[in-house]
Amino acid sequence: MKRIEAFHHFWDTINNLSRIRTEPLHDFGMGMPPTSLFPTPSLLTHSMKTALDHGDYSLYMPARGPLDCLKEICRFENARLPQKCSKYGPDSFALNSGAIRAFARICEHILNLGDEVAFPSTSYFSLSSLVEERYTPRPFEFRDFNFDFASFKKVITESTKLVWLCQPNNPTGLYISDSDFLKIIEYLNERKIWLLLDESCDNFQMEAKSWIPPNITSQNVIRIKSFAKDLNLAGIRLGYTIADPALISALNYMTPILDGNPPTIAIRAITAHFHELFCGADQNHNIQYELNHKKIQESFNSLKVAIVKADVAKEIVFPEACYYLLVKLKSDKSSDQFFLDLINNTGNIVVPGTVFGYPIDECWVRICFARETFSLEKLVLDIKSQL
Ligand SMILES: Cc1ncc(COP(=O)(O)O)c(C=O)c1O
């Protein structure tokens, strides 16, 4: 089944059911922690309100983002780089209206319809669906949750124009190791193939194991970031792209301009956020962020304990980051059938593995654990009742 079909089946089921069901549905699907569990740092909401009060909604901003915002982001990214790396300049950055739009826009610019694009066989649906629809997909094996260089090399041909990876991957939450990563960059560099990294899930690391982002010593590497997850701002549609200045500039002037201008209200808030990370006048800002992180970890632990105690899993993939748990259930049902039974009989939504490219007959599901502990415990009991 194509991922886009699996994705539509997932949403059609939810939308149809929510129209006829009297009881509410419980969403452990797409993510987005509730603000009751995960309060937005007040600096962000305050900055957005101030921008509204000033009438900033009437303004266009430069398509690439205003320089003060790009400089703040640049300072933040440079601080994350290892000491020995050369630093970025603001001309390596452009704002975008979310990672999915950024991906589509970059593909539009660097690819022709039908070009070969390689990506992990099990991966984030929005990007892989786009590739399936418009280009020639060349998935490489990613089923053991580890990057396999031999399998990767097999799918790269003379016609491959782009490789994209999520770092960490979604749905597993696992990072590709630094050493594999360097090998990939070197290999693609030699062949002059673009490497696009979607870093939307590079947040809420479970242990000290945070990924060290590479500086773009290679002109072929493009990184895209989103504020949807780490700041819980999926609704403001903002993120940024990091790439060689020539590509950034070309994206800015591409025709047709696909994105319009990024939203001014959101830009004000993000500029204040990055400024605060360095200037630190508003202590509550960083404290709130750390508290949110701690809560996500607690939720993860309760889900893990509940799953083990209820003995519902054949296999659990322990994520290194973000807030999704991928689990293969002790059930002979297909993941789609399990999803249907769970939602129809208990009102709980989890994402069936088919949406990410897992075979239909394996009962993989992805659970978002950025939820209250008690609801996660109840979910696991409901899962057990449907095995
Ligand atoms: C890997 C990945 N990329 C992109 C997105 C969507 O990002 P945005 O909302 O910024 O378009 C998500 C959201 O879940 C994601 O997990």
Lowest-confidence segment of 23-37, 339-353, 370-384 by average pLDDT:
23-37
CA 226 – ligand 1 centroid, Å = 7
Residue 310 CA to ligand 1 centre (angstroms) = 31
Top mutation candidate among 198, 227, 238, 270 for ligand 1, by most atoms within 8 Å of CB:
198
For the Cβ of 124 lying below 6 angstroms from any atom of ligand 1, the answer is yes
Mean pLDDT of 364-372: 96
- Whether 278 and 75 have beta carbons less than 8 Å apart is answered as yes
- State whether the beta carbon of 99 lies less than 6 angstroms from ligand 1: yes
Q: Which residues pair with 329 in a beta bridge?
A: 313
C-alpha 46 – ligand 1 centre gap (Å)? 25
Report pLDDT digits (tens) over 281-323: 666 666 777 888 889 999 999 999 999 999 999 999 999 999 9
Closest to 230 in 3D by CA, of 36, 48, 10, 33: 33
Checking if the pLDDT of 385 tops 60, the result is yes
Cα 111 to averaged position of ligand 1 atoms, centre (Å)? 21
State whether the Cα torsion 27-31-37-40 is positive or negative.
negative
Question: Could you read off the pLDDT of 182-241 as tens digits, one per residue?
Answer: 889 999 999 999 999 999 999 888 876 656 666 666 789 999 999 998 888 888 889 999
Closest atom, ligand 1, to C-alpha of 31: 14
Nearest-CA neighbor of 172 among 231, 124, 242?
124
Ligand 1 atom nearest to CA at 169: 1
CA distance 215 to 40: 30
Q: Is the CB–ligand 1 distance for residue 201 below 6 Å? A: yes
Domains of the chain, residue spans: 3-30+285-385, 42-279
Architecture of domain 3-30+285-385: Alpha-Beta Complex (3.90)
Does the beta carbon of 200 lie inside 6 Å of ligand 1? yes
Cis peptide before 34 (omega within 30 of 0): no
Tokens of 125: 């649906």
CATH number 3.40.640.10 is the correct assignment for the domain at 42-279: yes
Q: Model pTM?
A: 0.94
What the block records as the tokens of 106 is: 């970059």
Average pLDDT on 44-65 reads 92
The two tokens of residue 122 are 């099990």
pLDDT at 50: 95
Nearest CA to ligand 1 atom 3: 200
